[in-house]
Amino acid sequence: MNTFNELDELLRLERYRSSLIRFETLGTIETREAAYPVKAIVIGSDDRSLPTLGFFGGVHGLEKVGSQILLAFFHSFFYQLTWDRDLVKSLDGYRIVSIPIINPGGMARSTRCNPCNVDLMRNAPVEADPEHTLPLISGHRVSPQLPWYRGEAGKGLEKEAQILVDFVKREMFEAQMALSLDVHSGFGVRDQIWYPYAKTKAEFPRKAAALKLKALLDTTFPHHIYKYECQSDNYITSGDLWDYLFDGHHEQEKDRVFLPLTLELGSWNWIRKNPVQFFSKAGLFHPMKHHRHSRIMRRHLILLNFLLRAVRNHSAWLEA
Ligand SMILES: [Zn+2]
């Protein structure tokens, strides 16, 4: 197997032996050069009705920093499970599920799309409001040679997208409360947390829950760095997998909350501070200087830990 750093890191995580951590290979992505596993991690109880937090990354292969943040988080979390009995005990009450590298073929090749040139975040059977769409970026079926290609009409989901959808349905849909964070990079100057929809400016049915979480974050960490808003305040897209999953869940589980969030790291700022990055393909999506990279690894740990506690204690703020 041809490998790459993030996949190596993910495979290294399997060295942590604990009855609380389970690894699973959900599928294999074949490219001309090699085959790559899509790996999942499930932490905590087998009881899928418990509140569940999902961490996802690497949907867009170029945006490696999202996977790196999750992998750094898991290394730290798994190590803490070897000595922190309170943390071990807390896992009686919630679960964490993750696919840290959804698009390993794209990551190996440093492309946004998967090895079939499909943008996985435009691939779902979800059509955006036509009056607000932008040419190409909102998703298109013009040509796989252009970015944001949705895939052939009627062909169904790409393998990676299907793996994600099946995993989220299996691991998150039965939960009494579910929250996911999908980490991306490359848009804007600030780190942004987005709640759905991507497809429309119409109101998201769980807007109240999304805003309660925002209030909790704002009050708990008044100096946090995130801009928190609806995804459609930024741009509208067709084919968003989280819109698709949310709608599927909402139809089926009217009484339960599933809140799929996106963390979009504001990489334009990294470019402003280090303009040389503009000339590097990887640099558009990554902080290249070492000190900046360490800071980015560190600065999101507060958010990830906050989300753990918010999910575990959801009744304290969601029903308040
Ligand atoms: Zn992305």
- The pLDDT tens digits for 245-286 are 999 999 998 889 999 999 999 866 655 666 656 556 565 556
How far is the centre of ligand 1, averaged over its atoms, from the C-alpha of 318 (Å)? 28
Looking at residue 296, its pLDDT comes to 74
Looking at residue 50, its pLDDT comes to 98
CA distance 264 to 192: 5
The tokens describing 22, both together, are: 């389970």
The domain that holds 36 is classified in CATH as 3.40.630.10
Nearest to 238 by CA among 119, 114, 94: 119
How far is the centre of ligand 1, averaged over its atoms, from the C-alpha of 60 (Å)? 5
How far is the centre of ligand 1, averaged over its atoms, from the C-alpha of 245 (Å)? 17
The partner residues of 173 in beta bridges, in order of sequence, read none
Looking at residue 291, its pLDDT comes to 62
How far is the centre of ligand 1, averaged over its atoms, from the C-alpha of 186 (Å)? 7
How far is the centre of ligand 1, averaged over its atoms, from the C-alpha of 184 (Å)? 4
* Other C-beta atoms lying within 10 Å of the C-beta of residue 26: 18
How far is the centre of ligand 1, averaged over its atoms, from the C-alpha of 264 (Å)? 7
How far is the centre of ligand 1, averaged over its atoms, from the C-alpha of 135 (Å)? 18
What's the domain count of the chain?
A: 1
DSSP letter assigned to residue 182: E
How far is the centre of ligand 1, averaged over its atoms, from the C-alpha of 82 (Å)? 33
Looking at residue 189, its pLDDT comes to 78
Looking at residue 253, its pLDDT comes to 85
Looking at residue 295, its pLDDT comes to 75
CA distance 158 to 150: 10
How far is the centre of ligand 1, averaged over its atoms, from the C-alpha of 96 (Å)? 22
Looking at residue 275, its pLDDT comes to 61
How far is the centre of ligand 1, averaged over its atoms, from the C-alpha of 63 (Å)? 6
The tokens describing 6, both together, are: 């993030």
> What is this structure's pTM?
0.93
How far is the centre of ligand 1, averaged over its atoms, from the C-alpha of 68 (Å)? 14
Looking at residue 297, its pLDDT comes to 76
Looking at residue 300, its pLDDT comes to 93
How far is the centre of ligand 1, averaged over its atoms, from the C-alpha of 142 (Å)? 20
The tokens describing 243, both together, are: 């819109």
Residue numbers of the chain with a pLDDT score lower than 70: 1, 267-292
Q: Are the beta carbons of 59 and 120 closer than 8 angstroms? A: yes
Q: Are the beta carbons of 145 and 18 closer than 8 angstroms? A: no
Looking at residue 29, its pLDDT comes to 97
- Domain holding 152, by residue range, is 5-318
Percentage of residues of the chain with pLDDT beyond 90: 82
